[in-house]
A and B are shown apart, each in its own frame.
Chain A
Amino acid sequence: MNLLDLVIALPAAGFVLALLLPRSQPQLSRLVTLAFSLVTFAVSLGLVTGFQSGMAGQQFVTNFIWIQSPEIHYHVGIDGLSLWLIILATFLTPIAILLSWNYIKDRQKEFFALLLLLEFGLVGVFASWDLFLFYVFWEVVLVPMYLLIGIWGHDRRIYAAVKFFLYTMVGSVLMLAAIIFLYTQAGTFDYAVILEQFSSGRISLTHTQETLLFLAFFLAFAIKVPLFPLHTWLPDAHVEAPSAGSLMLASVMLKMGTYGLVRFCLPMFPTAARENAGWIVTLAIIGIVYGALVAMVQPNMKKLVAYSSVSHLGFVVLGIFSFTQMGLDGAVYQMLNHGISTGALFLLVGFLYERRHSLEIADYGGVATVAPWLSILFLVTTLASIGLPTLNNFVGEFLVLQGTAQAHLSWTVFASLGVILSACYMLWMYQRVFFGETSEEVRHHVPDLNMREWACIVPLVVMMIWMGMYSQTFLPAVSETNAKILEQTRANAPLRVAAPSTSAGGQFHGR
């Protein structure tokens, strides 16, 4: 059992233990889950220190047969792509628990236990190297999030929870079909072996098969991302979820989709990915602009942040389907950035909600006078989200745009609109909430941050600055893995399909 197994097992153990605790002592369950999440985070830092850069392939591997026939492995491991996403999940879980410390009154034990179950699923998704195992974790994530939204959410929580579940389910059953189909071709679910068989040409798919498989995987991931026009579940889920749910949903769960695109869609189906890049990028750009425009007119803060997520994740998809090293690096970095900065936004919006019990922008105004520290930290987060240089999002957006420019300049031009628009809606919201006349309600009900809230937000702000100032801590590991993935997308393509050079595909070759 290595460190990675421990990072997967600890939240599961915490989940079971928390459920077994007596109902009469909700404080105890809070403490136990917090302790488990902190230990998990501490252990996961061991993954960072033990991670050897320069070593191609996965590290911290555990691989044994889980089910004999069909042969399904418990195969986990990490590389530069999954390392930081796992850290993101373990980093944000204690924060989510702290955030809900006093807010959750009803059925506390279950709430905190479910957060740990969620962490278990998320870490598992990013660590799996077996397609079946990946699918198992992918679905495991659904259940706690469904319950978090449905039980502890706001007024329209049931509608939002069911919509969330069904959207994801429809996408993932098709992915399951594709996974089983791959198994019938390859005779294994082990992703490393499947990739090896692809590159050695032992599996050969017809052009139609490859396209259909690509689309089956892509649909599941695109719903999760969410890519325009599949995004409609997201604003509902975000607005209705409790703050901790929104935080985990936006910061980590959405990354499951983009992670899947990079991890599975590109290396396995490179030809199809390149052929379909045209319309996918178009949708991504529409998403960037549309998300930003809709965010601008939202009267509800959470909804605004939710639509800004649609816009930000459009950048990630754009970077992925630029098929350039920079675009891909930027996309992965942007996944982390979005996790940190949008996470912080939801956190801060959550703080405001706990004080004023409203998410409507119109109910606020002049908060800066009564809660200066809250306002300053909100400002830093806003600026990070806009993409101000020296803060984290700038690095990611810049890389994505540069990578896209190498591939196709016009895409960059349209996508840049999103950067401008993000400044508009974020700053405008900031102005309406924090400046202006201070109403009586705000004056009486909005105190400044307390110690617990400081403990939640400071780590995130530190990360924003760190990731903006010194991306070298994070990027080399990501770049190495991306280079390998990019290599795979080139290596596989000519082997299997007598490349019908389409216009979309042809433009990338040789870049």
Chain B
Amino acid sequence: MAGNLPANFMPTSADMLRFLPETILTVAGTLMMVLDPLFARRLPRMFGHISIVAFLLAIMAAISANSVPGLAFSNLIGIDGFGTFFRVLLLVIGILSVLASYRYLEREKADTGEYHALLVFSIVGQCVMVTANDLIMIFIGLEISSIATYVLAGYLRDDKRNNESALKYFLLGSFATGFFLYGVAIAYGISGSTKLDEIRIALANPETSTMMVGVATALMFVGLAFKVSAAPFQMWAPDVYQGAPAPVSAFMATGPKAAAFAIFLRIFLTAFQSNSDSWEPLIWICALLSMTIGNFAALTQTNLKRMLAYSSIAHAGYILVAIAARSEIGTAAAMFYLAAYSLMNIGAFAVIIHMCGKGETNLRIEDLAGLAKRQPVTAAMLTVFLLSLIGVPLTGGFFGKFYIFQAALQSHLVWLTVLGLLNSAVAAYYYLRLMVMMYMHEPGEVSNNLEPLTPSLRAALILPAIGTFVLGVVPGVILTFAQSGAALVK
């Protein structure tokens, strides 16, 4: 295939349509960089509006691109239901992150132009990741996304926690990317290609050295496990989430994670599908470790952001269970769960953004005390997200978990299922603590002096709450989409 370029190297109009969402976002991002010096002081909110419009346009573009599925740009990217699902999910995450950021940036008097441009670029990278059909493309997307996120993590550059967070994220993230790139190099060495489908054919060949295949798999696995913060590669997550600005933590816990899981699924279920028997135990162990470490560590946390960081490690474990199932239904379960997880997590972070105050001083769990008396709507919304994180029926979190463990049992992962479900009972304890604080304690200083909910934050709470209920009560719509998308990943 190498050197055998298609006759018509010029991209067709269908190719352009397939890449339209990324194009829109890139244009919008660049535009914001240009406008930043002109309007940053006068119209600080404008950049948020621009990015929301860009995300909405990109969602429409992504949906229309789905009507012309297929490969584009010399097979570098491929549009299918799977990619479209994640594209739309990432764009929705983008909108919610922007909504959650308005008030925070105002409060911190931070520059808005660069912030939103970086956020948009980060999502461009993630969209490239989820639609890529080529390891180099995946790597480029990963880098675009990561570099933008490193900067975002240290966005308030006078804050030393931000700096710590950004540096840690950068160093460990670079390591992870390095591992991943080694894996790509070895896979190329074995197969002579970086295209996922061609690697798959080469690996399925019985003459291929199994040791080298194993090394390539292991290296990529380490890189991706870092990115999704799965144990034992999770150490960076609590520090980074705690240090970064709260809206950035919300974004980091969802967007990059969803994209990383998307390529995780795609690479391991297509390119490395033939040696899945050898990597399945690896994922099994990682899944169990992530769930257990995440949940038990979260039990003792006193800082809200840190607690959510550990909880996100545990949730990565649940999604790994779905990957360990190695089935179409497992893939669909992982996709559905990522959607539910993103909504409830951004929602929970939005409450933190609302109450943390200038300089993020109010992050202790006790600071939630009596919230239900002072701001019943905020408390009710956080309750919805917490119930969903626990996995109580009629919420998206429950159905996602149910679907994951159903996939696991169909693949005969009985012990993983039992241990995973018991884990979710452990998790109930620390989520309940927040509810206890909000509802069963008298209002403390923080909730007495809480600012009223701004319209943007209200939207960042209510939209995910509605989404959480929709996913829990009528999951059919999203589920069908996820299933048809999952059917294409093989």
Q: How far is the CA of A140 from the CA of B390 in the complex (A)?
A: 13
Chain B, range 475-490, C-beta contacts under 8 Å to A? 475-476, 479-480, 483
| Interface locus among B67-75, B402-410, B447-455, B462-470 | B402-410
Known A176-B402, A176-B405, A180-B417; judge A166-B439 contact (CB<8 A). Answer: no
CB distance from A430 to the nearest CB of B (A): 34
Q: Closest approach, in angstroms, between the C-beta of B473 and any C-beta of chain A? A: 9
Q: A143 contacts which chain B residues (CB < 8 A)?
A: 387, 392
B393:A139 contact, CB within 8 angstroms? yes
Q: Which B residues touch A170, using CB under 8 A?
A: 422, 425
* Min CB–CB distance B334 → chain A (angstroms): 16
Residues in chain B near residue A174, CB distance under 8 A: 418, 421-422
CB–CB B428/A180 < 8 A: no
Q: Residue A68 contacts which of B376, B414, B424, B480 (CB distance < 8 angstroms)?
A: B480
B321 to chain A: closest CB distance in Å? 12
Complex Cα spacing A227 to B339, Å: 40
Query: Which residues of B sit under 8 angstroms from A23, Cβ to Cβ?
Result: 376
Question: DSSP majority for the A interface?
Answer: helix
Beta-carbon contacts of A149-181 to B below 8 Å, as 1s and 0s? 011000001100110011001100110110011
> Would you call A165 and B405 a contact (CB within 8 A)?
no
Pairwise interchain contact B428-A183, C-beta atoms closer than 8 A = no
Known: A136-B393, A142-B392, A157-B440. A180 touches B409 (CB 8 A): yes
Tell me, in angstroms, the Cα distance from A142 to B417 when the chains sit together: 22
Instruction: Looking at the assembled complex, report how far the CB atom of B399 sits from the nearest CB atom of chain A, in whole angstroms.
Output: 8
Known A68-B476, A69-B483, A183-B406; judge A176-B432 contact (CB<8 A).
Answer: no
Contact B440 A166 (CB under 8 A): no
> Does A54 reach chain B (CB closer than 8 Å)?
no
Chain A residues lying within 8 Å of B432, measured Cβ to Cβ, are 146, 162, 165-166
Cα A180 to Cα B476 with chains together (Å): 18
Q: Assess whether A150 is in contact with B418, with CB atoms less than 8 Å apart.
A: no
Name which residue of chain A comes closest to B387, CB basis.
A143
Q: Is the CB of A166 within 8 A of B406?
A: no
Contacts of B418 in A (CB 8 A): 174, 177
B139 nearest CB across to chain A (Å): 35
Which residue of the partner chain, among A162, A173, A183, contacts B425 with CB atoms under 8 Å? A173
Does chain B have a CB within 8 A of A70?
yes
From known contacts A140-B394, A147-B439, infer whether A184 and B409 are also in contact, taking CB-CB under 8 Å.
yes
| Cα separation A157 to B436 with both chains bound (whole Å) | 10
A451 interfacial contact with B, CB 8 Å = no
Residue numbers in B under 8 Å from A132 (CB-CB): 402
**B429 within 8 Å of A (CB atoms):** yes
Closest chain A residue to B419, Cβ basis: A177
Asked if A67 contacts B406 (CB within 8 A), the reply is no
Is A135 interfacial (CB-CB < 8 Å)?
yes
Q: Would you list the 8 A-B pairs with minimal beta carbon distance, nearest first? A: A136-B393, A173-B421, A169-B425, A170-B425, A139-B393, A150-B440, A180-B406, A169-B428
Contacts A135-B393, A139-B393, A183-B406 given; 18 further ones with Cβ under 8 A?
A67-B475, A68-B476, A70-B403, A107-B373, A139-B392, A139-B398, A143-B387, A146-B432, A147-B439, A150-B439, A150-B440, A158-B436, A161-B436, A165-B432, A174-B418, A177-B405, A177-B421, A180-B417
